[in-house]
Chain A
Amino acid sequence: MIEIKKLTKQADNKLILRGVDLSIKQGETVAILGPNGAGKSTLLKVLATLIKPTSGHVKINGLDLKKDHIEVKKLFGYLPHASLLYDHYTPLENLVFFGELYGVKDVEDKARELVKEVGLSFFINEPVKNFSRGMIQRIAIARAIIHDPKIMLLDEPHTGLDQGAISILNNVVLSMKEKGCTTLMVTHDFKQAAEICDRIIIVKNGKIADDFKINNKSLGLVSEKYQVLVEGVS
């Protein structure tokens, strides 16, 4: 599904990604962990086509990220820490606008359905600026999946969320996984990573330091590996 070969990204003489090689199969839910400045978000932004790589190749679903970027963009839903929503627009208006950009059919019905799914039907005609962080993130989740993406790119999605919003987000990721959606999640939240992911990638100094599968939501294994690799605890 996602094939990354020798990916590098340089910015202002600093090498942020140093030859990343990665292969992700369809339906996998992958957490990308690592310390601040390791290059996790940069990797995600390269995949989201927000940043152009310095060198290397990325293929998504057989499509070249550089040449077929419009087709690639149709495949993924991007959910960063910022909401990407217009404050003075209502949830419905925001979702309809983004749905139209993605060419979603019956976009208003779809938007109403998603607002209902994230539990904000009562606030469907309220401007987003009046919402709490948790409510905004719920609409941001709906925005990211309005076009039924095949790949979800999540950048620290759990930050600042209450338990209700975390639960909604996790349910969305798991239900998308059932539909065959691939998820890449950059996070510092080991608990959530262990909870919903079946593969963990640890990034350090722009390189992949470890790549392993986890079973039974094994938080202990994730913490142990992270401490050994990143914090040098043996």
Chain B
Amino acid sequence: MLRAALTIAKKDIYSELRTKQVLGTMIIFAGLVILVLSFAFDPANNTTKAVIPGAVWIIIVFSGILGLNRSLVSEQRNDTMHGLLVAPMEASSIYLGKFMANFSMILIVEAVSIPFLFLLFDFKVNGSILYFILVLFVGSFGFIAIGTFLAALASNSKSSEMLLPLLLFPMTSPVLIGVTQATKIILTNMEKLHSAIAWLQLVAAYDVIFFVLCFLLIEYVLEV
């Protein structure tokens, strides 16, 4: 199962490196959001710093949706999804492969855009960078795990680009609330670390439950 999933993930990442369609769009979008935010909020003003944790997740969510939608819709051209479905592997391998590719891409977007955000807003991290990376990892994991599943569900619809955000936001709101709160604490007030860890535990539990559910249910979603 893992071998097939890795083959699919490798194929998606290699395709992306060649075409630079999705990753390029995601990074440009993230850059534009940061620029617009820097016009709207004065980086010199201290109250602006309170916006940063929210801005981090706005960038991840909206650029993530761009990538999620394309990753499954692209398999409809020439019915390549049928090619994957008739190959000797479980449907969950396709989900796992797509998840790994989408997760890698969102991590790349985060690695490029978040330092740019901090730089532009002259934001100095008062908390722990390691905890911040952990929050990014846990939050992105849940968002992409649910997003990949819902993108597969929406890809059969003609209005998949509209349907995906409509399905995704209610489903991922516990993850987004948890990680935004945890990010705020970790970046600004480390004294409340125990509270951030509680949020993180909640999100991690949600991640595990939904990852397993998506893994088990993907077979029914991908059926022709």
Contacts and interface: CB of A to CB of B under 8 A. Distances in A.
**Chains A and B are bound partners:** yes
Interface of A: 45, 48-52, 70-71, 73-74, 76, 78, 80, 82-89, 97-98, 100-103, 143
A97 B6 CA distance: 11
Contacts of A88: 15, 18-19
Interface string B152-177: 00000000000000000000000000
Given A45-B224, A51-B223, A52-B223, A84 B78 contact: yes
B15 A70 contact: no
Contact of B78 (A50, A78, A82): A82
A78 B79 contact: no
Contacts of B224: 45, 50-51
Contacts of A78: 82-83, 86
Contacts of A86: 11, 15, 78, 80
Contacts of B78: 82-87
Nearest to A42: B224
A80 B88 contact: no
Given A50-B223, A52-B223, A97-B11, 13 more contacts: A50-B82, A73-B86, A80-B79, A80-B82, A84-B78, A85-B83, A86-B15, A86-B80, A87-B78, A88-B18, A101-B8, A101-B87, A143-B83
Contacts of A73: 86-89
A98 B83 contact: yes
Nearest to B81: A84
A82 B224 CA distance: 14
Interface in B1-27: 3-4, 7-8, 11, 15, 18-19
Interface in B172-212: none
B85 interface: yes
A87 B79 CA distance: 11
Contact of B77 (A87, A101, A102): A87
Given A82-B78, A85-B80, A86-B78, A50 B85 contact: yes
A76 B85 CA distance: 13
Nearest to B219: A52
Interface string B59-89: 0000000000000000001111011111111
Contacts of A84: 78-80, 82-83
Contact of A89 (B3, B4, B15, B87): B15
Given A82-B82, A88-B19, A100 B223 contact: no
A206 B11 CA distance: 39
A49 B80 contact: no
Nearest to A153: B86
B88 A101 contact: yes
A82 B89 CA distance: 21
Q: Which 4 A-B pairs have the closest CB atoms?
A: A84-B83, A82-B79, A73-B88, A101-B87
18 contacts: A50-B86, A50-B223, A50-B224, A51-B223, A73-B86, A73-B88, A76-B86, A82-B82, A83-B79, A85-B80, A85-B83, A86-B15, A87-B77, A88-B15, A97-B11, A102-B87, A103-B3, A143-B83
A97 B77 CA distance: 17
Contacts of A89: 15
Contacts of A98: 83, 87
Contacts of B90: 70
A102 B83 CA distance: 11
A49 B15 contact: no
B101 to A, nearest CB: 13
Interface core residue of B19, B82, B88, B90 (most chain A CB under 10 Å): B88
A193 to B, nearest CB: 23
A52 B87 CA distance: 16
